[in-house]
Chains A and B, each alone.
Chain A
């Protein structure tokens, strides 16, 4: 973790009565820098927070939005929960799988896109929906989904 990231993390400590409160935001910061938080960074975080590495690892593996290994340059997550599924999300995911030539949960061999599915994103009124690099793309249809995926560098 860079000194810059560490400074940002330390600046978060006063927001919480105990500095551990800043752990989730801190993980986000490390992840923003590196793309994921591996064992080495987990150790560094543990040190910074006065925790055991295993404490940090438990947290990292509990939450869907944290990664402990490298991901594709772009994240495409398709919601497949019921309301989205009722509006074709699963067909759409299948199409994207064959379009990208990978299975859900995999990354394209060039490391460009990681495709995965997600639980309800709170966008059921504009289903189906996917989350592309953190931003919602709603009211999807197949051609729109492919266009968005193709536009990723």
Chain B
């Protein structure tokens, strides 16, 4: 279990401290100053503030949080909902878990500030079912908030500021991280993403206007409100302000989390993680969770923010950095990756359901030494048939990593086909 990142910043400053998990400890370290300030503001001004802060969602898509809040209808004819996306299932991502385990009140305070800003009366926190400890911690924290009047009616004595929080467990399905898959799941259905329109701000959970934000996104909000725009905008890059909890995994000396400003060079983060394990050479790095295309050793200079990563054909995603050393067989990586997407596709869209299955079969075949040049052609084509054509972005997420692997490691695939076996005996077992 990780209790704090190797490198801390404002979010994780007190994570090592058990008291910070409790409301009193959280308050003693500046907690709920943000909310106190927020309720002195007009909701619209608050939305404007978050918009100006440039805070981008930390759930993977990087959408402007303030802008998203502004999509919520004004008026109170229908109850409005918030959903906190704590489904964290993107392989390589383990930051939301730490926030919930070590600083649950940050997220909760962010939720309350958001609730005041958009007039939401209830929040569902959708936590992936496997996250037992985080769920217990969040439930405990919610209970404390009720006891101390931060939840329920007339919060902080404000008339009309009523809010409830319900903690809801997922049940093992990656696709429930996709916001409309999540909403379906929350409604007690299969987590199959919804076609859009309608969008959640109009027709969300149970048909009510709903905003979905990620755990970490909420956790940043109290700091922005409490410490102000100037402070926040000075951290990170111009287009991507603030820090994030980079997760480094795979073949490094010290896997774990690192809270660093957005825009920190990739190589620097990997250095913080002790570099490649056993002094080996680096072969490839996935920069933002499994859905994102892989980068090469020469990309270590890239600054870890969306605006720079997209120039290299990849994305920041969840900031989950996976490091692979020189022994790694990239066809194996393709096989593991495609297995995951095949297993997790919700199965509605033709391209995604059939494409993920087919890509996986081909990758396994090539890895097993039974591939042919025609297989390589198929792998070139199939992702293109899936990308941008489906109900949700899952199919893109399934297509991109394969495209990335072929772009940068075509030689690995060709070698398998030529030799009719895997030429990387030391790579991890399949």
Contacts and interface: CB of A to CB of B under 8 A. Distances in A.
Whether A and B touch (Cβ < 8 Å) is answered with yes
Interface of A: 15-18, 20-25, 27-28, 49, 55, 58-59, 62-66, 80-83, 85-88, 90-91, 94, 118-127, 131, 134-136, 138
A124 B188 contact: no
A83 B250 contact: yes
A62 to B, nearest CB: 4
Which 7 A-B residue pairs are closest in the complex by CB-CB distance? A64-B172, A23-B188, A124-B249, A63-B171, A83-B249, A120-B91, A65-B172
Contact of B257 (A65, A125, A136): A125
A122 B188 contact: no
A89 B75 CA distance: 52
Interface stretch (B31-39, B260-268, B336-344): B336-344
Given A82-B290, A86-B249, A121-B130, A62 B191 contact: yes
Contact of B190 (A21, A28, A58, A80): A58
Given A17-B206, A25-B169, A127 B190 contact: no
A21 B130 contact: no
Nearest to B251: A86
Please classify how large the interface on chain B is, using the bins under 10, 10 to 19, 20 to 34, 35 or more: 35 or more
B86 to A, nearest CB: 10
Contacts of B171: 24, 27-28, 63-66
Nearest to B133: A136
25 contacts: A16-B187, A16-B206, A17-B79, A21-B168, A24-B171, A27-B171, A59-B189, A62-B173, A64-B172, A65-B129, A82-B333, A83-B322, A91-B428, A91-B429, A119-B340, A120-B89, A122-B131, A124-B94, A124-B322, A125-B248, A125-B255, A125-B257, A131-B130, A135-B132, A136-B132
- From B91, B92, B248, B340, name the one whose CB has the most chain A CB atoms within 10 angstroms: B91
B134 to A, nearest CB: 9
A20 B187 contact: yes
- From B92, B128, B132, B174, name the one whose CB has the most chain A CB atoms within 10 angstroms: B92
Nearest to B250: A86
A124 B429 contact: no
B256 A24 contact: no
A119 B343 contact: yes
Interface in B112-134: 128-133
- From A24, A83, A127, name the one whose CB has the most chain B CB atoms within 10 angstroms: A83
B365 interface: no
A81 B1 CA distance: 18
A81 B191 CA distance: 21
A78 B172 CA distance: 14
A131 B128 CA distance: 14
A16 to B, nearest CB: 7
A120 B344 CA distance: 11
Contacts of A16: 166, 187-188, 206
B97 interface: yes
B239 to A, nearest CB: 27
B2 interface: yes
A107 B191 CA distance: 28
Contacts of A81: 91, 290, 336, 340
A21 B186 CA distance: 6
Given A15-B166, A22-B188, A86 B172 contact: no
B162 interface: no
B169 A28 contact: yes
B115 to A, nearest CB: 17
Nearest to A62: B190
Contacts of A123: 94, 97
B89 A125 contact: no
Interface string B79-109: 1000000001111111011000000000000
Nearest to B186: A21
B151 interface: no
